Structure 1
Amino acid sequence: MTNPALAAGTVERHLRARRDSGRGLLMPYLTGGITPGWTHYLRAFAAAGADAIEVGLPFSDPTLDGVTIQQASHMALARGASTRGILAELSGMPDLGVPLVVSTYYNLVLHDGPGAFCAALRRAGVAGLIVPDLPVHEAGELTDAAADAGIEPALLASPSTPQPRLAEISRRSRGFVYAVSLMGTTGERAALAASAAELAGRIRRVTDRPVLLGFGISTPEQAREARRHADGVVVGAAIMRRVLDGAEPDDLRDFLATLRQALDASPRPGV
């Protein structure tokens, strides 16, 4: 079963320790319920060297996601995936040795209420939470409920975020700060957006929390470039495209191993 001690608000401590050892952080994403044996992918992610794993709760209107993750969400829902079912499967997993972070849209949080939702995450062994459509000035109820449940909510910052709000996002985030590399939706890109470096630098000036860059990071070369500016990366669409194309857990382990190697070969930010 999932180690309850790991879920007791340990995302930031875990990521800080790995970052401070010189390691580039890797957080792969998987849409929960995407296949009958979807939890086997999570085991493969951990085996490939993930430092945390993001599990998306499928939602019918994923407005911040591009076509790949939209398709994955719709496929999971068509299979009958639900928040309760996904959390039940997570709760039955063995300890992966890395924190699980759930991502979802705020409508799903409101369905049960922030308190009940965060308590359900905690019972499932989840340690962190990402709600991309929740702005910082409306996050108080959820962050309070998360604190009560021992869940660490990571807030998102984008290239257009003004510096005072960026400081507030960094202060109120727990676990890490999620830096959105570009204005737009998730999805694979040909190159890392130029806005990523500038945003990561602005965040790092106002917080010592780990900074993870996401949205559009698809290749080892992009992961290596992102590592020059941030503590690590979130990789979603590149993984889900492979899953949708029929990739097995071992295939994803091999792909993530290339990202792991790229991060390990990259210097820390500012070096």
Structure 2
Amino acid sequence: MSAVTDRIDAAKAEGRVALVGYLPVGYPDVDTSIAAMRVLVEAGCDIVEVGPPYSDPVLDGPVIQHAAAVALEGGVRVDDAFRAVAEVADAGAVPVIMAYSNLMLSRGWARFADDLVAAGGAGVITPDLTPDAAPEWIAAARERDVDTIFLVAPSTTRERMQLTCDASRGFVYATPLMGVTGERAAVGDAAERVVGAAREAGAQRVGIGVGVSTGAQAKDIASYADAVIVGTAFVRALGDEGDLERLRVKVAELAAGVRGEA
């Protein structure tokens, strides 16, 4: 068990699923991004994905790419991500980092895990890293009780689905489609299918991300997943203006959705 699984299970005990919110560090500036993460917690997020901006975010859509570019131009650093992790933990949510593998590798697998633990973080989501390509990371994470959260998609083969679910800790991150992140008018039935495939492979907790932007979508996903993951919709609400109140309203909408109130 871990802080991530404990929080997901606590939400289930309340008769709902967990809400996971993502924001990039440094957008529109470091201090505002950290204040925004506190808003996520205050408005209903159980778990917060802290995103260290990366110069080539190939899996992110235009909204998050723009936010990362602004953050990098502003001089954000990886250490700012660990500061954000500490702030999220202090606010009462479970912090995890969403990081591209080259960023982690450049810091060193063990050092990255040590810095995360020191800041109060619980796990790392690695969108571009598969378990078979990550033995050093998995070893460093296991030694420090850091959750390794890997991704699966509808195109994931049965063999690779099994491998990924076996290597994942905390939850399995399921995306209902291949492609970049971003809001979508409808998530589609692929989301439920990929959750089912992950459960067949032994995943006990599955979160759905990529495309979730409304309370109604969150309510629908809550009927079959263990966590609803929202990123682009929150980044868009925050905007270049750093509008914390607009963000708060959007988080509250999604929080109502995971409670079946949308």
Residue 208 of structure 1, CA deviation: 4.7
Matched, 1:52 2:57: no
Structure 1 residue aligned with 2:113, among 107, 115, 118?
118
Residue 11 of structure 1, CA deviation: 1.3
Deviation sequence 1:17-74 (CA, Å, 0-9, x none): 3224422110011001112322111111111111100110100000011111111111
Distance 1:200 1:93 in 2: 28
On the 8 A contact 2:172/2:203 being kept in 1, the answer is: no
Distance 1:168 1:91 in 2: 32
Counterpart in the other structure of 2:186: 191
Matched, 1:29 2:41: no
Structure 1 residues 66-145: aligned runs within 5 Å: 66-91=61-86, 95-145=90-140
When structure 1 is superposed on structure 2, of 131-140 and 57-66 the one drifting more is 131-140
Task: Write 1 or 2 for the structure with the bigger share of helix.
Answer: 2
Instruction: Identify if the C-alpha distance between structure 1 residues 92 and 42 changes in structure 2 by more than 3 Å, giving closer, same or farther.
Output: closer
TM-score normalized by structure 1? Answer: 0.90
Residue 144 of structure 1, CA deviation: 1.0
Deviation sequence 1:94-144 (CA, Å, 0-9, x none): 612221010111110110210111111111111110110001211221111
TM-score normalized by structure 2? Answer: 0.93
Residue 92 of structure 1, CA deviation: 5.7
Instruction: Identify if the C-alpha distance between structure 1 residues 66 and 93 changes in structure 2 by more than 3 Å, giving closer, same or farther.
Output: closer
Query: Partner amino acid for 2:119?
Result: A
Q: Kindly report the root-mean-square deviation, in angstroms, between the aligned alpha carbons of the 2 structures.
A: 1.9
Residue 201 of structure 1, CA deviation: 1.1
When structure 1 is superposed on structure 2, of 204-213 and 115-124 the one drifting more is 204-213
Could you say what secondary structure the match of 1:204 adopts?
Answer: helix
Query: Partner amino acid for 1:52?
Result: I
Question: Would you say how many aligned residue pairs link Structure 1 and Structure 2?
Answer: 260
Matched, 1:64 2:59: yes
On the 8 A contact 1:55/1:103 being kept in 2, the answer is: yes
Gaps of at least 5 residues in structure 1 are 1-7, 267-271
When structure 1 is superposed on structure 2, of 246-255 and 187-196 the one drifting more is 246-255
Counterpart in the other structure of 2:228: 233
When structure 1 is superposed on structure 2, of 88-97 and 205-214 the one drifting more is 88-97
Matched, 1:10 2:3: yes
When structure 1 is superposed on structure 2, of 69-78 and 199-208 the one drifting more is 199-208
On the 8 A contact 2:127/2:150 being kept in 1, the answer is: yes
Structure 2 residue aligned with 1:178, among 173, 177, 187?
173
Runs of 4+ in 1 over 4 A off after TM superposition: none
